[in-house]
């Protein structure tokens, strides 16, 4: 083999290994399907074979701050596995009361920012009060919509969704906005209760398997880089934004 052909083959293999140039898959047609007689814990709307669950409303805010959450979810370990750096600009989608946001805010420091996105103004009010109580000034509330996280394009190093992606009523449109907001090389993490494990005491539609998350993420310019499986009930599935054709 000539040196030129060898270098060309090596370049192609390197690009494939990094996921560079891999085109996202086409979305299904129709994008969503409405079915009757579906699971009562869902909205009857299906995306890629998965029924979308009901949203946990602001009246469930106290559940987000429950004392046993650290024991059940290993929150400290989960925050550490994110590998956030001082100065990072990150977003917490479905921020709720800010239980995760203030912990990330400590990791990114004053030179970093956490954008707390929620569609419920009542949750954003909880967020504002809780950050003020803790003296946290680098968490910024963002009023999103069911189709748009309202984040600036190419502005974020990291995005996290903690037990929320399965509730998106328009997951395709939301992920378009999230991926658009990531910088090239930026990361996104799906934190979901493990759908593979029947012992996880959460309603089925509020859990997701790793395979289903990967299936849906494959519609976008994202490369799976790691799945962290050491938490009590959840897995953290990481992807990185890559160049697409």
Which residues, in sequence order, are bridge partners of residue 191?
162, 236
**19 within domain boundaries:** no
Structure tokens at 224: 């799976």
**48 within domain boundaries:** no
**110 within domain boundaries:** yes
Instruction: Please say whether the beta carbons of 145 and 119 come within 8 A.
Output: yes
Digit-by-digit pLDDT tens for the chain (245 residues) are 444 443 344 443 444 444 444 578 999 999 999 998 778 899 999 999 999 999 877 777 777 889 999 999 999 999 999 999 999 999 999 999 999 999 999 999 999 999 999 999 999 999 999 999 999 999 999 999 999 999 999 999 999 999 999 999 999 999 999 999 999 999 999 999 999 999 999 999 999 999 999 999 999 999 999 999 999 999 999 999 998 65
**9 within domain boundaries:** no
Domain count, the chain: 1
CATH number of residue 143's parent domain: 3.40.50.150
Q: Is 90 exposed, middle or buried (0-12, 13-18, 19+ CB in 10 A)?
A: buried
**160 within domain boundaries:** yes
**176 within domain boundaries:** yes
- Which residues 6+ apart lie within 8 Å of 233 measured at CB? 72, 73, 193, 194, 197, 200, 201, 202
**143 within domain boundaries:** yes
Q: What pLDDT, on a 0 to 100 scale, did the predictor assign at position 245?
A: 55
Residues spanned by the domain of 126: 58-241
d(CA 206, CA 18): 32
**213 within domain boundaries:** yes
Predicted structure pTM score: 0.89
Structure tokens at 50: 């998965």
Write the DSSP assignment of 96-153 as a string of letters.
TTSTTHHHHHHHH-TTSEEEEEES-HHHHHHHHHHHHHHT--SEEEEE--SS-----T
């Amino acid at each position: 083999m000539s040196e030129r052909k060898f270098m060309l083959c090596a370049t192609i293999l390197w690009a494939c290994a990094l996921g560079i140039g891999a085109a996202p898959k086409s979305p299904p047609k129709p994008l969503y399907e409405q079915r009757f007689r579906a699971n009562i814990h869902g909205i009857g709307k299906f995306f890629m074979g998965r029924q979308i669950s009901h949203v946990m409303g602001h009246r469930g805010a106290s559940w987000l701050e429950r004392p046993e959450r650290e024991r059940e979810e290993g929150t400290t370990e989960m925050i550490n596995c994110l590998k956030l750096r001082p100065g990072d600009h990150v977003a917490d989608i479905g921020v709720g009361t800010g239980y995760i946001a203030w912990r990330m805010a400590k990791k990114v420091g004053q030179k970093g920012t956490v954008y707390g996105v929620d569609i419920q103004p009542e949750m954003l009010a909880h967020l504002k009060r809780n950050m003020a109580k803790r003296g946290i000034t680098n968490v910024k509330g963002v009023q999103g919509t069911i189709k748009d996280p309202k984040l600036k394009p190419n502005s974020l190093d990291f995005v996290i969704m903690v037990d929320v992606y399965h509730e998106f009523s328009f997951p395709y449109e939301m992920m378009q906005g999230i991926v658009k907001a990531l910088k090239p090389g930026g990361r996104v993490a799906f934190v979901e209760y493990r759908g593979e494990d029947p012992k996880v005491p959460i309603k089925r539609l509020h859990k997701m398997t790793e395979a289903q998350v990967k299936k849906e993420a494959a519609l976008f310019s994202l490369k799976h880089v790691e799945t962290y499986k050491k938490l009590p009930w959840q897995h953290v599935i990481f992807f990185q934004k890559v160049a697409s054709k």
